[in-house]
Chains A and B, each alone.
Chain A
Amino acid sequence: MKSLIIKKIFSSILVVFLLTILIFLLVHMLPGDPIETMLGDYATEEAAAALRAQYNLDKPLPIQYFIWMGNIIRGDWGVSITSKTAVMPQVLNRLPPTLMLCLIPSFLSLGVAIILGVISASRHNSPVDLGISIGSLALLSVPEFWMGILLMLLFAVVLNVLPAGGYVKPSVDFGKFLKSITLPVVTMILHSMPSTIRMVRSSMLEVLQEDYIMLARTKGNSPVRCNYIHGLRNSLIPIATNLSLQITSLMAGVIVIEKVFQFPGMGLLLLTAITNRDYPMIQACIFVFSIIVVTVNLLTDIVYALIDPRIRYS
């Protein structure tokens, strides 16, 4: 198990290194120039050249990459071209809200989705199964930004019980913090839960056909024990895979939710940086996202080994 983890860590580091090259190249391939964007109608050649020199943007790309990489290793993520402040504090400040928006809905929706998926699978073709399937399909079809705006209209305008966007830090006012995250988290849950329900349902349907389940039933075990102890455990591998994919896809979708709810996360930071072609910020944000994705994949591999001993000893 230890050697497995060490191998996975080393391969993750290699992946992150290769990603830095890809990130750098992709960012610089974006059409548009940060200096001209910043200067707008005042972008004369003279003014633009002066600013490019200031940000090392007049140097060849490989030199720019090595400067950036060297700084990253030293813990200096550079200075934002638009705000002229250090990138790292801004990114680290915006990371917790994004993680909150990805992880809380993932785990909350997982809990609910497992229960609904198991119920749906164990009552296959019943009205309950049909209702859960149709409901999850309907939710899957609704774009999350539209759902978010509808929830905002209902709870903020009509009922006036929740704020229409914004974020309050828990240290400032915990009650207002809970109110401010309710709508974004509910939106993310409603968006991510359906696919997990369907995954659990289909996985359980396969497992419930197995002989050992029939044996468990014959031995007089309760349906709950058969489904959750014997059945669910054996369908955890695809569920773990789905959870890992969901967290990473939520990180992509979180940009939309942060935009709609004006949530101060990394998604909004990245979106603004891309609009302004703020290269250091774009690179830093994507770098952080890629580390998170690689870490989630690494943890998923470890979870596989914990769930299934055969993987551990292979």
Chain B
Amino acid sequence: MKKIITTCLLCMVLVFTLSAQAASEASTKPAHRTLVLGLEKEPATLNSHANAENIVLQMGHLYAGFLTSLNPQNGGPILPAVASSWKYISEKELAIQLREDVYFHNGRKLTADDIVFTFNWTMDQKNASIRRTNFIAFFDKAVKTGEYSVTLHLKSPNPSLLELLAYLPIVAEDTVGTLDTAPIGCGPFKFVRWDATQQIVFEPYEKYYDYESIQFDELICRPFQDYNAAMTAFFANEVDIMLFLNTSDIPAITSRGSKYCVQSISDMGNYVSCNTAKEKLANPKVREAIKYAIDKKELIDLLQSGVGLPISQMYAPSNMYYVPSLDWDKDLPRAKKALVDAGYPNGLDIEILTPNTSARVSLATILKEQLEKVGFRVTINVQENAAMFELFNAGKADLAVGGFGFYADPSFRTMFISSTANSNWRRYGYNDKEYNDLYMEGLSATDTARRKEIYARMAEKAIDEAGFFMLFSSTSNCAVRSDIEGLVYRGSGNSDFTRITFKK
């Protein structure tokens, strides 16, 4: 009996000792924190110079450095990033001072040579950087003026330059070769590895100038091909932030009490465009009929559960260049009369081209019903993305539905229907000299009043002549675990995770 008691006591002491040691280790060793993001699909590449998809842009904002940063407050001033300050020497010269504590993920310090290289590489057509189209119209060269200073020389002034710099990933000669699959940047997160279809792993870079603000040790991006599987993984707590969330699933998130929450992460505009190269759509009365058949409020109610704003221009209603007087309401009698006046008293066959995503197909379906009320006979042509682009770019669509993220400067999106070299105008068949001249003038105008006049006139032409009808603004939402806060949205494909904290 004595032996049994002694043995039991010894075991208890052993167990307590081991537990205490483990607890002691646990309390002294910091817990390894991982932030897991759910992506709506696997990016085709990590090179945001090569691919325009939002998901690729987002990956780029994890590892790459940028000269400037967008302000999370809509309409707020552009913020410094790798560029610590800047000054316009003249209308066509921007002097930039760089931070002296920026390092690439291979340990090398960033200097002015890397900024010069970035611009030279981007503007070299053989590198096929999509960013080139943003700069080609006005950019001349970048000149090193000191170890940490550069002057950008422009062919013409450009008020959107600082915003454009927030979308230009910095590259270096010794890192540019691996951008697609193992990128090396100078941003907050260092690329670790890419396990195909499973995860893309990053870790906070210890030499990043704001490293102390990052409160976790690892960032894992998990792509999902199937939306239902993604939501299952989120509810199984395998994902902390689901970067894509269908609006219809918001109640499913919020109904689970305080465990999860929904956050808006991007503003975008949805549109239906007319191909005015087609004879029936070249008729302004037909376009008028389409314009006044559209019920934007119904679209917002049915597609966005009432969340969103009707818009008429290619930038957010809060934008200083937005002209509220150009907004219009549905007017069915006027639409019907316009179609009759156009010479189609018995109706007109028309086709809406849409990609095969559920949001766009739903938009096309409701538009079909609205147009049929005024006499159109509408068919919907649902195409996979690649096929849709082919038809769209070849100018084969009648109407097409789509959407894009908003930029602060109106020149970004008004470029769409210009027929200048950096646009794909055949989609819309709109080749108007006045519009192009206004676009080019708007790119370089520095007087705000004149720019307002320019963009007001361009918006008018887009609606009345090009038949480019903006419909409503919507937000992209993400689902977040409630113990996580600090997600900052800065712009399209530009969610900032460096301020994420975990509530205790």
Contact = CB atoms under 8 A, between A and B. Distances in A.
Q: Do A and B come from one complex?
A: yes
Interface of A: 30-34, 36-44, 46-47, 50-51, 54, 82-85, 90, 93-94, 145, 149, 152-153, 156-157, 160, 163-167, 258-264, 268-269, 271-272, 275-277
A156 B236 contact: yes
Interface string B34-54: 000000001011000011110
B390 interface: yes
Main secondary structure of the interface of A (DSSP, over half): helix
Interface string B395-422: 0000000001000000000001000011
A83 B44 contact: yes
A82 B130 CA distance: 14
Contacts of B198: 166-167, 262, 264
Nearest to A259: B225
Given A33-B386, A268-B225, A164 B197 contact: no
B212 to A, nearest CB: 32
A42 B229 contact: no
Contacts of A272: 42, 44, 225
Contact of B235 (A51, A157, A258): A157
B136 to A, nearest CB: 9
A40 B232 contact: no
B424 interface: yes
A159 to B, nearest CB: 10
Given A41-B52, A44-B424, A32 B390 contact: yes
A66 B409 CA distance: 49
B193 to A, nearest CB: 12
A40 B229 contact: no
B14 interface: no
B232 A153 contact: yes
Interface string B54-96: 0000000000000000000000000000000000000000000
Nearest to B426: A45
B225 A271 contact: yes
Given A33-B386, A85-B180, A51 B233 contact: no
Contacts of A44: 133, 421-424
Contact of A275 (B126, B223, B384, B423): B384
B236 A40 contact: no
B445 to A, nearest CB: 24
A101 B273 CA distance: 45
A41 B405 CA distance: 12
Contacts of B128: 47, 50-51, 54
B224 interface: yes
Interface residues of B, number: 48
Contacts of B421: 44, 46
Among B197, B385, B423: residue with most chain A CB under 10 A: B197
Contacts of B384: 31-32, 275
A264 B386 CA distance: 23
B91 to A, nearest CB: 27
A264 B42 CA distance: 11
A261 B180 contact: no
Given A30-B387, A40-B53, A167-B198, 14 more contacts: A34-B386, A42-B52, A44-B422, A47-B132, A82-B44, A83-B181, A84-B181, A149-B232, A164-B236, A165-B232, A259-B225, A262-B198, A262-B223, A272-B42
B25 interface: no
B236 A264 contact: no
Q: Which 5 A-B pairs have the closest CB atoms?
A: A32-B386, A31-B387, A82-B44, A264-B197, A40-B52
24 contacts: A30-B386, A31-B383, A33-B386, A38-B50, A39-B52, A39-B130, A43-B389, A47-B133, A51-B128, A83-B180, A84-B45, A90-B196, A93-B196, A149-B228, A153-B232, A156-B233, A156-B236, A164-B238, A165-B224, A260-B229, A264-B195, A268-B197, A272-B42, A276-B44
A145 B225 CA distance: 13
Interface of B: 42, 44-45, 50-53, 125-126, 128, 130, 132-133, 180-181, 195-199, 222-226, 228-229, 232-233, 235-236, 238, 383-391, 393, 404, 416, 421-424
A257 to B, nearest CB: 10
Contacts, number: 149
B386 A157 contact: no
A47 B126 CA distance: 9
B354 to A, nearest CB: 15
Contact of A40 (B126, B199, B389): B389
A33 B384 CA distance: 11
Nearest to A273: B44
Contacts of A268: 197, 225
A84 B176 CA distance: 13
Given A165-B233, A260-B226, A268-B197, A50 B125 contact: yes
Nearest to B422: A44
Contacts of B393: 36, 43
A32 B133 contact: no
A280 B133 CA distance: 27
A85 B181 contact: yes
Contacts of A152: 229, 232
Contacts of A54: 128
A101 to B, nearest CB: 13
Contacts of A166: 198-199, 222, 238
A32 B232 contact: no
Given A38-B50, A39-B52, A276-B44, A165 B229 contact: yes
Contacts of B229: 149, 152, 164-165, 259-262
Given A36-B389, A83-B45, A149-B228, A164 B180 contact: no
A261 B226 CA distance: 8
A160 B236 contact: yes
Contacts of A51: 128
